[in-house]
Amino acid sequence: MNRRSIFTLAAIAALGLTLLPSSIAAQQRTLKEQLVGTWAFVSCDGTTATGAKIPACGAPADGILILDASGWSANVITPRGRARFATPDRAAASADQVKAAALNVTANFGTWSVNEGDKTITRHSVGALTPNVEGGMLNSPSVSPATN
């Protein structure tokens, strides 16, 4: 075989690999590998013991969940339409303004893992806006991949 034939075959092989559907590669990845990334908040519903869905966040909200490959996560959810402080200096805001701004805000970070067998995610809080959450298990909000 001459050099031109080898180059042509290599180019065809490279083109073929780039044209493979991405779903083929995704099917070979573990659930954890598929979940790594930044996810935008979709909903915040709880489930009662009877299986009924109930709103868990109160007002409509926005948020983000970040799951990194090393097993760390961060999550922030804020209600839409919160009142702004009367002053641009947050240190000068009144206690009532700070309380109203923090109400229904969820912010935490910690570790996460996946049980590939039963396809569940476990998140453990290391630090949080609400101290009572620290050291406990976290529920994962409904999310979708974030778009820029």
CA gap 57, 45 in Å, rounded: 7
Other CB atoms within 10 Å distance of the CB of residue 107: 16
Tell me, yes or no, whether 107 lies in a domain.
yes
Q: What is the mean pLDDT of residues 121-132?
A: 90
CATH for 101: 2.40.128
Write the DSSP string, 15-80: HHHHTS-HHHHHHTS-HHHHH-EEEEEEE-EEE-TTS-EEESSSS-EEEEEEE-TTSEEEEEEEET
Backbone Cα Rg of the chain:
23
> Of the ranges 23-27, 63-67, 119-123, which is most confident?
63-67
Tell me, yes or no, whether 22 lies in a domain.
no
Whether 15 has a pLDDT exceeding 90, the answer reads: no
Tell me, yes or no, whether 125 lies in a domain.
yes
Nearest to 103 by CA among 65, 129, 75, 140: 129
Provide the residue range defining the domain that includes 85.
30-145
**Under 8 Å between Cβ of 109 and 126:** yes
Whether 144 has a pLDDT exceeding 80, the answer reads: no
pLDDT at 55: 72
Give residue-wise pLDDT tens across range 68-115: 999 999 999 888 888 899 888 989 999 999 998 888 888 999 999 999
Domain count, the chain: 1
Nearest to 35 by CA among 109, 116, 147: 116
* Position 140 confidence tier, pLDDT thresholds 50, 70, 90: low
CA gap 51, 10 in Å, rounded: 56
Residue 39 backbone dihedrals phi, psi, to 5 degrees: -120, 135
One-letter amino acid for residue 127 of the chain: G
pTM for this model (two decimals): 0.67
What percent of the chain shows pLDDT beyond 70?
Answer: 72
pLDDT at 128: 92
CA gap 75, 70 in Å, rounded: 16
Tell me, yes or no, whether 93 lies in a domain.
yes
Give residue-wise pLDDT tens across range 55-65: 766 668 888 99
pLDDT at 20: 53
* Position 36 confidence tier, pLDDT thresholds 50, 70, 90: very high
